[in-house]
Amino acid sequence: MQVCFARIGIELQVPDLNQNDFTHLTISRQIAQIVDLFPKDRTPVTLIGSSLGGWIAAIIAQDYPQVERLILLAPAFDFLNHWLPKIGDLQLSLWKQNGYLLIYHHAIKDLSPLHYNFLVDAHKYSISQIDRVLPTLIIHGINDAVIPISASRDFATEHPWVELLEWESDHQLTDASQLIWQEICRFCQI
């Protein structure tokens, strides 16, 4: 995606939201990291986020008028309600007791410890708090086994300014990268 933007003279920043410390990851830390990248001259920004990054982009856009539009790829709306049942009560109890839980990390393709503070911090953010009207494009695969398409459908239904594209794909949307680029160009009028 960076190459596509570079070809048309737009710098796309793709920060590592783990900050080389997945173990102590929190939503609040990721929000602060992204906001810190905003241009200091208040130039409008478009946030593009995938999965948890999509959820974080929506949270940021709520409080920062500098965000002029959102492009969300399989956003992890209401992810705790989808994710925690998969972990189960016993594992949740052990996570709280031990302080760490091994979580599959997609980037390293292996298990990595995550501190319980991630869960405590994540509870501070609710999808019901997201109500700022701004151009929003959501692309979500109908075969998503991580965050069900219903999460984006519900969000789009409750937020009529949202454009939802449902594609025959999964959570990664890797088979749709060219289509995603075309939709980004259309949506941003570039």
Q: What residue has token string 């911090």?
A: 121
CATH 3.40.50.1820 is the classification of domain 2-188: yes
Instruction: Give the integer Cα–Cα distance in Å for 160 and 133.
Output: 9
Of 82, 74, 69, the C-alpha closest to 52 is 74
Domain definitions of the chain by residue range: 2-188
Residue 107 has pLDDT above 90, yes or no: no
Residue 41, CA distances (Å) to 1, 6, 38, 107 in order: 25, 22, 9, 33
Residues 83, 84, 85, 90, CA torsion sign: positive
- Residue 14 neighbours by CB under 8 Å, 6+ apart: 1, 2
pLDDT, tens only, 162-186 = 999 999 999 999 999 999 999 999 9
pLDDT, tens only, 45-73 = 999 999 999 999 999 999 999 999 999 99
The pLDDT, as a whole number, for residue 108 is 79
